[in-house]
Homo-oligomer: A and B are copies of this chain.
Amino acid sequence: MEHAEMEWLIIAPIAGLVSIAVAFYLYHYVNKQDAGSPRMKEISEAIKTGANAYLKRQNMTLAVFVAVMAIIIGIFFSYYMALAYVFGSFCTTIAAYFGMNAAVRANVRTSNAARKGLNQAFSVAFFGGAVMGLSIVGMALSGASVLYYVFNNVFQNPKAALDTVLGFSFGASALALFAKAGGGIYTKTADIGADLVGKVEMGIPEDDPRNPAVIADNVGDNVGDVAGMGADLIDSYIAGTIAAMIIGAEVYWTASGETIYIILPLLIKAAGIFASVLGLLFVRVGKRGSPGAALNRGTFATCFLFAVLTFLIISSLQIGNRGLGIFFAAVAGLIAGMVIGITTDFFTSIDRTPVLKTAEAARTGAAINILSGFSYGIMSIVPPVLGIVVAMLASWNIATMFGVDPFYGIAIAAVGMLATLGMIISADAYGPIVDNAKGIAEQSGLGEEVIETADRLDAAGNTAKAITKGFAIGAAALQVIALFHAFAMVVGVNVIDLMDPKIVGGVFIGGMMPPLFSALLILAVGRNGYRMVEEIRRQFKENPDIMEGKSKPDYARCVDIATKGALRELILPGLLAIIAPLVVGFFLGPAALAGFLAGSIITGIIFALLMANSGGTWDNAKKYIEAGKFGGKGSDAHKAAVIGDTVGDPFKDTAGPSLNTMITVMTLVATVFAPLIALYALF
């Protein structure tokens, strides 16, 4: 590497460390807030204990898997790669743990702050979420850039160095997959159990302390929505970067020895991190402002700052016309991400046609409500898919126009789309924090006014969540397309021809993997939810004092059921994602494997969107009715809407969000094992 470029690379770990430092500062800020009354502290403590217990057991289970995988990688590839793999798993684990810890502390402090007013509560919740956002991107970027720097110095060969970064990415993604699947099963087990018996059968409100599953439900919000979601997005973030780096190396370093295109993706991510940190300053409610507007302002400011910083960095690199092409490709990705987010929001917003029609359908019964939400969930696929196609074609054409390699152009668009992830996660993690804060406020008997404040905070969280989810799925799509190209380059496949039946066979088998994976997760939630329901019913039946409020239910038992079940159930789908591409690769060959990946990407994106958005539609249709429409709470329409919402729970919080990670993991497995497959494939 030339000296000048080495100097540039240093920006990436600096950005990462700045991000982590700010995360620490915010953690400290959140932690020094008052946690409220003894009752609140008690509840908070119970949630913290449950969440930590779950994460500890999950990590112990996964440690075995990581060790086995590291040994395999060490034997077949290199010890450096194995090391990088373990390091990637470790970074994901630490960032998720730290972020969740901040969230758990922020929950109760947000409830308490809500007693003083909206503004203060909003700050605590948002900065609590930002700890997760910033620590995750910080760990990811510093980890990837330091590994690349060190091993490039060791090997004096960028491609060899990239193998270790690939190992890092694989470690992060594989762990993310398990964390997401496990957390997703946990949270919905608890949620469904609590809802079905508590709300529907016993008629007590959500988050009522008499419900034995109420603590498990709150724990679930943290291990599933916060920790799982953080783990989910970090993998797209890293994999997108490594895809662009590999393509940069394959195209430019191989041809002309240029290394700047290898590190450029890291620099763009650094720009995104600086923009996210600065963007935090714009997230203020102010007097008479709304939390939703504050979150949106932060997102837009970050995007604008990102564009400016990227332009400055790229123009300083003095790579001429090509630089301009790369800049436009990155911005095209960013804009596409925003457009996808905003249009997707239409399908799940509480004041738009899909939600209104779905709520209205609930009057005809649960079945029609479900059919309506499912259909609008499918229709919500259209804008993001068109957005992804436009982003892909635009970045391809921009790249061609400015003399940039078109595959590199697509990869850069993916990098640009996810560069502002620090802010995206911050706004996203805010959602479960205020949701939990509301729960704690209800359980600890804070007044109507406080709960109303929490409600206002909560409503803003839902929109933010919808936008960022659309954003994340769009980015994951582009990222995995880039990764797919990187795989093809590594394996030396130049043409993936749909006229070849082996490739078509691969496409078919790959196409059925994401739905199959979803089905396994949903069945897992069903089975585990059933155990939970039986337990809650048992407690209410054997101890009638619980319902009267005279006796405390056995919260720990419910936490235990959710924990054990989630860990047991995540193994099969997790292994499926790792083993399936290997089976196809070794038995049908690299070309069929390429088809397999392509097939999985297509249905993966479609099912991810369908599940996330139909779940969101049912959820908001229920909330719409709960706001007093069509008979309000307790009406037949409401009961029907609750059934729809329960169907949507594992759709939107277990299966849907796991699919991004699943297709990323499958593509990474293929890329990591590509050399072996090329050597030993049967066909």
Contacts and interface: CB of A to CB of B under 8 A. Distances in A.
Interface of A: 192, 196, 200, 361, 364-368, 370-372, 374-379, 381-382, 385-386, 388-389, 392-393, 396, 406, 410, 481, 485, 488, 494-499, 501-505, 507-509, 511-512, 515-516, 518-520, 522-523, 525-526, 529-530, 533, 594-595, 598-599, 602-603, 605-606, 610, 643-644, 646-647, 650
A378 B508 contact: no
B505 A643 contact: no
A499 to B, nearest CB: 6
A196 B364 contact: yes
Given A512-B381, A512-B385, A530-B361, A494 B499 contact: yes
Given A365-B643, A518-B378, A602-B508, A499 B498 contact: no
Contact of A192 (B366, B367, B392, B518): B367
A376 to B, nearest CB: 7
A392 B365 CA distance: 44
A618 to B, nearest CB: 10
Contacts of A525: 371
Given A374-B519, A389-B505, A488-B499, 7 more contacts: A365-B646, A368-B529, A371-B525, A375-B523, A385-B512, A481-B504, A512-B606
Given A192-B368, A410-B501, A508-B389, A378 B646 contact: no
A379 B517 CA distance: 9
Contacts of A410: 501
10 contacts: A368-B526, A371-B523, A371-B526, A371-B650, A375-B522, A378-B515, A388-B508, A497-B498, A498-B598, A504-B598
A376 B595 CA distance: 25
B381 A515 contact: yes
A372 B523 contact: yes
A368 B499 CA distance: 42
Contacts of A495: 495, 497, 499
A507 B481 CA distance: 13
Residue from A508, A525, A533, A605 whose CB has the most chain B CB atoms within 10 Å: A508
A200 to B, nearest CB: 7
B393 A505 contact: yes
B498 A646 contact: no
Given A375-B523, A378-B515, A392-B505, A366 B498 contact: no
Contacts of A606: 511-512, 515, 603
A518 B381 CA distance: 13
A166 B17 CA distance: 65
Nearest to A481: B504
Q: Please give the count of copies of this chain that the complex contains.
A: 2
A374 B614 CA distance: 14
Contacts of A406: 501
A114 to B, nearest CB: 31
Contacts of A505: 389, 392-393
Contacts of A523: 371-372, 375-376
A599 B381 CA distance: 14
A599 B389 CA distance: 13
A485 B200 CA distance: 54
Contacts of A200: 365
Given A488-B499, A508-B385, A530-B368, A515 B610 contact: yes
Nearest to A532: B364
A647 B385 CA distance: 26
A377 B406 CA distance: 40
Nearest to A196: B365
A532 to B, nearest CB: 10
A631 to B, nearest CB: 15
B501 A381 contact: no
Contact of A643 (B497, B508, B643): B643
Q: Top 3 nearest A-B pairs by Cβ distance?
A: A367-B646, A378-B519, A496-B498
A378 to B, nearest CB: 4
A225 B646 CA distance: 32
Contacts of A371: 522-523, 525-526, 647, 650
Nearest to A524: B375
Contacts of A381: 512, 515-516
A375 B603 contact: no
A494 to B, nearest CB: 7
Contacts of A385: 508-509, 511-512
B530 A595 contact: no
Contact of A647 (B367, B511, B515, B518): B367
A519 B373 CA distance: 10
B366 A507 contact: no
Contact of A602 (B389, B499, B501, B603): B603
A670 to B, nearest CB: 14
Contacts of A378: 515-516, 518-519
Nearest to A497: B495
Contact of A526 (B372, B389, B643): B372
Nearest to A368: B526
Contacts of A488: 499
B386 A509 contact: yes
Nearest to A496: B498
Given A374-B522, A481-B504, A610-B515, A595 B498 contact: yes
